Amino acid sequence: MAARRRLWHGLRVARTLWATQYAYMLEYRAEIALWALSGVVPFIMLGVWSAAGTAAQASGFSQPELARYFLCAFVARQFSVVWVVWQFEEDALQGRLSPYLLQPLHPLWRYVASHQAEQATRLPFVLVIAALFFLLQPLAFALPGPGRALLGVLAVGLAFAINFLLQSLIAACCFWTERASALERLLYIPYLFLSGLVAPLESFPEPVRAWALRTPFPLMVAFPARLLSGDPFPTGPHALSIAGGFGAMALWIVLLVPLLVLVWRAGVRRYSAMGA
């Protein structure tokens, strides 16, 4: 009985959070559209990769597959972008964090809700960009089967979760240093080069790929992009597979959640409000 009431209460809190954050994000539609556009890097890289024909073919990509891969990498990135560290840093510096900490709701849930609201605002822009892309590259047009599409959406959601957990871990460093966003820059570099955003993992030399697959980065872009594209997964040693990818994602989440809880608790104990 008590459990059911708590679940009910949780749902109501979530609905209110989503509704307010969505209304807030709608105000910033134009900015979010520009932000969606600033993810053009996969399209630029598609240009280089398709002009350098043999390098792509040697990685097992036909031209339409390559185009689909980079489009899906763009989509995966759009819905797993995380900016919690900047928001959190600002809230901490401006003193807004103190009232949040007093509320009977973990502050991170508020950020989760605002990220999800922002993704909902982004959706129409991403659909327009994808439609334009297929108009320009009609040969690349193909939709994944319903099963693959569902798995793809699930993978994007989990990629967002891993990204969010990693960045929150850095954000929690705000309790110790005021400029945690500088640390985020360091996390972004391996993400950019190893996630599959600028080059498909299949084009990496064997040892680098084996090493990259031990990091969470390929799970954030390359894996969901492959699922969304509907194209078959590559075979051979050191290759991502559907089961392996989801297993690794679960493992990272199981690892990161307790770590974040511990760091957060230690940080709050150390926290002594800005300017107070």
Q: Nearer to another protein by C-beta: 98 or 203?
A: 203
Please report whether residue 210 would count as binding another protein according to CB under 8 A. no
Are 231 and 69 in contact by the 8 Å Cβ rule? The answer is yes
Q: How far apart are CA 151 and CA 170, in angstroms?
A: 29
Residues from 117 through 156 that contact another protein (CB under 8 A): none
Q: Nearer to another protein by C-beta: 14 or 208?
A: 208
Stretch near another protein under the rule CB under 8 A, chosen from 44-52, 72-80, 111-119, 257-265:
44-52
Are 220 and 195 in contact by the 8 Å Cβ rule? The answer is yes
Residues from 162 through 191 that contact another protein (CB under 8 A): 177, 179, 182-183, 185-186, 189-190
Q: Following DSSP, what letter does each residue of 66-129 receive, concatenated?
A: HHHHHHHHHHHHHTT---HHHHHHHHHHHT-HHHHHHSSS-HHHHHHHHHHHHHHHHHHHHHHH
Q: How far apart are CA 29 and CA 15, in angstroms?
A: 21
Please report whether residue 18 would count as binding another protein according to CB under 8 A. no
* Binding residue (CB under 8 A) for another protein from 7, 26, 34, 150: 34
Which residues contact another protein by CB under 8 A? 30-31, 34-35, 37-41, 44, 47-48, 50-55, 58, 177, 179, 182-183, 185-186, 189-190, 192-193, 198-199, 203-205, 208
